[in-house]
Amino acid sequence: MTIAFVGLGIMGKPMAKNLLKAGYQLKVYDVVAQAVQEVVAAGAKAATSSADAAKDADIIVTMLPNSPHVKTVVMGENGVLEAAKSGSMLIDMSSISPIISQEVGAACAAKGVRMLDAPVSGGEPKAIDGTLAIMVGGVEADFEEAKDLLLKMGASAVYCGNLGAGNVTKLSNQIIVALNIAAVSEALTLATKAGVDPEKVYQAIRGGLAGSTVLDAKAPMMLAGNFKPGFRIELHIKDLLNVMDTAHEVGSPAPLTAQVLEMMEWLKAGGKQTNDHSGLVEYYENLANVKVRS
């Protein structure tokens, strides 16, 4: 099986490397030459364009920043659909608007190319470990065909429904993560302002009902003032904007998402958009005039 992999950023690069470790043959492309060279050094072949990568590939994996990038890479000049063979499968693992997933899927179908939308959750650490959570939309038989490959990049791959359902699931995930981070930030800021050690508060509550994967991943970063990005604020803003667009399209209120989105926009306006989303605590620190970090 020949696989094309387009998009070798903070997530795509380790995902491609995990496929190489699993024994798959990859032809890779990215606009950043250094990223391509790094994956080629791990055993891949370099492509000169998205179309060149897709030529003769059985499966084309894309991992790109947002909806416009996916449309350009798949449907644009020198894009995937210029060269993809009929019967091949595009697996778009980008986190994008489900409406755009369906638009791209229609263009693929017109060329005889099957498509799955398969966004991921877990950030860079789980991309490196190959333990991502993968949410998939499309034809279920296509999912079953691709499942073994997906599980070389993730610890789970769950079929969610028709094309676009993967990204609806990912947007739901991003609502929960964003609101959890805001809640952790608000709670630790309260503790600090009230004169209680936020580290002790964290240790006391993590084993109870308030305990969560988000709490254990992000509270230590907040307490250390370590905002090195595993998932950048600007990317979470992108996802929450897609949430709002989708929510408005289907008529589903999202008032809490809107509020956290504005908090993140405030951080972006202050030049902190490339920080990890755990940096949301800085919004609360500013309001309360305290520092949670020791």
- Of the candidates 208, 209, 218, 213, the residue with the CA atom closest to the CA atom of residue 184: 218
CB neighbour class for 111 (10 Å; exposed up to 12, middle 13-18, buried from 19)? middle
How far apart are alpha carbons 7 and 63 in whole angstroms? Answer: 5
Of the residues 170, 218, 238, 272, which is catalytic? Answer: 170
170 labelled catalytic: yes
CB-based contacts of 231: which residues, under 8 Å, 6+ apart? Answer: 123, 124, 276, 277
| Alpha carbons 184 and 201: distance in angstroms, whole number | 11
Residue ranges of E strands in the chain: 2-6, 25-29, 45-46, 59-62, 89-92, 114-117, 120-121, 132-137, 154-161
Three-state DSSP class for residue 115: strand
Catalytically active residues are: 170
